[in-house]
């Protein structure tokens, strides 16, 4: 039997493996184990992978929490839609809502301070892509995704939706300021 030609008999799995086939299976298994080990290592020692907590929620409950957060910590408004800019104290829970075709509110965070970012979607699957930091989280309706973040560089960061969500997907952007 050869790895190139099809088996002559229908019960091919009862035949012994050819040396070439065995070599490729062994190489594939070794490569899979190496990649699995690298994923675990990157998660433990790398800086790009965030550990998230995920909880079931409903839009009304999350909206109430986000609105209370915005009412308490708003410092100004920006954009034509008068999007609130929220500056919470370090160590607090911060909220961001994704909905067609915006992220709400704009966050203003302090450098080297830790926050717990709560994310949810009100309608469809959205992506939370923080650029240029290259952090990506898929935001699913009905679930609250909680990420512990510590911004370590000052600047203006763009939040971009990287899950296609409809005709205005290209305009779904938000902002996070780090001071």
* Residues 29-42 pLDDT 10s: 999 999 999 988 88
Coil vs helix vs strand at 45: helix
Per-residue b or e along 71-104, where b marks 16 or more CB atoms closer than 10 Å to that residue's CB: eebeeeeeeeeebbbbbbeeeeebbbbbbbbbbb
Helix (H) or strand (E) segment spanning residue 62: helix 59-73
- Predicted confidence band of residue 46 (pLDDT cuts 50, 70, 90): confident
The confidence score (pLDDT) of residue 18 equals 85
Does 1 have pLDDT greater than 60? no
Say which DSSP state 141 is in. Answer: B
Coil vs helix vs strand at 71: helix
Q: Tokens 């994310």 map to which residue?
A: 119
**C-alpha torsion sign, points 12, 13, 14, 15:** positive
> 158 phi and psi, to 5 degrees?
-95, 140
Q: How many CB atoms lie within 10 A of CB 138?
A: 16
Distance from C-alpha of 160 to C-alpha of 163, rounded to nearest angstrom: 9
Q: Tokens 């999350």 map to which residue?
A: 62
- Predicted confidence band of residue 80 (pLDDT cuts 50, 70, 90): confident
Nearest to 55 by CA among 46, 65, 70: 65
Distance from C-alpha of 1 to C-alpha of 12, rounded to nearest angstrom: 9
pLDDT digits (tens, 9 = 90+) for 124-134: 999 999 888 77
């Amino acid at each position: 039997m050869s790895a190139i030609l099809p088996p002559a008999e229908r019960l091919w799995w009862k035949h012994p493996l050819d040396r070439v086939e065995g070599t490729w299976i062994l190489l594939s298994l070794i490569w899979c184990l190496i990649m699995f080990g690298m994923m675990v290592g990157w998660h433990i020692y790398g800086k790009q992978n965030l550990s998230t907590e995920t909880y079931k929620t409903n839009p009304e409950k999350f909206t109430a929490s986000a609105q209370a957060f915005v009412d308490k910590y708003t410092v100004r408004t920006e954009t034509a839609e008068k999007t609130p800019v929220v500056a919470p104290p370090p160590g607090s829970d911060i909220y961001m809502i994704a909905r067609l075709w915006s992220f709400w509110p704009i966050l203003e965070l302090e450098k080297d301070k830790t926050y717990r970012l709560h994310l949810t979607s009100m309608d469809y699957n959205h992506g939370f892509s923080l650029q240029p930091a290259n952090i990506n989280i898929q935001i699913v309706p009905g679930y609250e995704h909680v990420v512990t973040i510590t911004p370590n560089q000052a600047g203006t960061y763009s939040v971009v939706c990287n899950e296609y969500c409809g005709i205005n997907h290209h305009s779904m952007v938000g902002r996070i300021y780090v001071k």
